[in-house]
Amino acid sequence: MINDKQVLYSGMQATGNLTIGNYLGALKNWLTLNEEYECFFGVMDLHSLTVRQNPAEFRKKAKNLFILYIAAGLDPKKNCIYFQSHVSAHAELAWLLNCFTYVGELNRMTQFKDKAAKHKDNINAGLFTYPVLMAADILLYQADFVPVGKDQKQHLEITRDIAERVNAVYGDVFTVPEPFFGKAGTKIMSLQEPTQKMSKSDENPNGSIYLMDDPDTIVRKFKRAVTDSFSEIRYSEEQPGVSNLLEIYSACSGTPIADAEKEFEGRGYGEFKEAVAEAVISVLKPMQDEYARLSGEKAYIDGLIRENDEKAAYYANKTLRKVRKKMGLNEIPR
């Protein structure tokens, strides 16, 4: 508990370009959580290092993600929005937790198998122990809740196992986090492969709408979006492409899917795709304008980074000192 509120923790990796799927599926639903929870949202740049990065581009992308969090509506005064790499307690606790994590547990992580298959030339130890760093992220802030998608359920389970294992040896050290099931985020699929989730790392740029795409690009991508041969705008398993577009339209316009079906009854796919594009543009344009404004306010942004990093470090180091003492490490003489 912090300020009489339960703690909620989440974050995004500082690689790739965020998509409309990232926004509608997660970021949009973070915006009001601070009313009920003490929220920590990380720019997860340490996690990104499991894949080789261009240093200059990587630094820029991490800072851009911080700015984008704020441009999307996260209040940096009400939420703690910080850089994972700026709080050294993450790396230190990860090592301590490595000593309480079994190799067999890590071998069962499906995400490691998937990423190892994609990066056969760089199957590094960081990729293997990624879930331990994720556990450190969560446990440092004594998080009560963590929003999780299907691909992160295993990681929360191992986090809980590690926390319970440490608690069994040393007593009440960590809060054991629970999955957060708030308002369900909209699951957005690829525009080119509508049976697969939209991804910021999609090799086909036409499959994803990125948050910084300009209006012409958005319209072009939706024109090329895969539909089907039914020539009917209806939400069904038989029409994954059309159903995905209906999901996007509904989420961006606020129109229930059933009403959207009626709205486009008897109208062609071309007209429908154009309407979906306009709905997306109406959501992204204000965010893009605010992002552009904030990007020019270097002193203001740097001040927010320092302020939020300090807040995160205060709570993280409080937990780390407790863990070090419990495990028998000597304190630094003062």
Q: What is the CATH number of the domain that holds 250?
A: 1.10.240.10
Residue pLDDT, tens place only, 273-303: 999 999 999 999 999 999 999 999 999 999 9
C-alpha torsion sign, points 290, 27, 210, 152: positive
User: Region 205-220: what's the mean pLDDT?
Assistant: 95
Q: What torsion, rounded to 10 degrees, do the Cα atoms 84, 85, 86, 89 define?
A: 80
Has this prediction a pTM greater than 0.85? yes
Active-site entry in 197, 223, 322, 326: 197
198, part of any domain: no
Same domain, 232 and 86: no
191 inside domain: no
Same domain, 313 and 243: no
Q: Say which of 200, 223, 322, 326 is annotated catalytic.
A: 200
- Give residue 185's pLDDT band: very low, low, confident or very high (50, 70, 90): low
How many domains in the chain?
A: 2
Catalytic annotation present for 61: no
pLDDT at residue number 183:
65
User: Are 142 and 264 in the same domain?
Assistant: no
Q: What is the mean pLDDT of residues 308-314?
A: 98
CA distance 50 to 131: 12
The stretch 78-82 carries a mean pLDDT of 97
pLDDT class of 213 with cuts at 50, 70, 90: very high
Residues 286 and 304 in one domain: no
Q: Whole-number mean pLDDT of the chain?
A: 92
C-alpha to C-alpha distance for 25 and 276, rounded to whole angstroms: 17
Alpha-helical runs (H) found in the chain: 20-22, 28-30, 55-71, 89-98, 103-107, 110-118, 125-140, 153-170, 215-223, 240-253, 257-263, 269-295, 298-327
Catalytic residue among 115, 187, 322, 326: 115
Same domain, 210 and 309: no
Q: Could you read off the pLDDT of 26-70 as tens digits, one per residue? A: 899 899 899 999 999 999 999 999 888 999 999 999 999 999 999
Q: Where are the alpha helices (DSSP H) in 2-54?
A: 20-22, 28-30
Alpha-carbon span 289 to 67, nearest angstrom? 12
How many CB atoms are located within 10 Å of the residue 333 CB?
A: 4
In a domain, 110, yes or no: yes
Whether 332 is covered by a domain: the verdict is no
Examine the pLDDT at 1 and tell me if it is beyond 90.
no
**146/260 same-domain check:** no
Tokens (6 digits) for 255: 């129109």
The answer to whether residue 195 is domain-embedded is no
Active site residue 200: yes
Same domain, 237 and 321: no
> Do 111 and 240 reside in the same domain of the chain?
no
Digit-coded pLDDT (tens) for 236-280: 989 999 999 999 999 999 999 999 999 999 899 999 999 999 999
Which CATH number covers residue 21? Answer: 3.40.50.620
pLDDT band at 217, cuts 50/70/90? very high
Within a domain: residue 200? Answer: no
**113 labelled catalytic:** no
Looking at residue 50, what DSSP letter applies? G
Q: 150: pLDDT confidence band, cut at 50, 70 and 90?
A: low
Whether the per-residue pLDDT at 203 is higher than 90: the answer is no
What is the extent of the structural domain holding 92?
Answer: 6-185+298-327
Band (184; pLDDT cuts 50, 70, 90): low
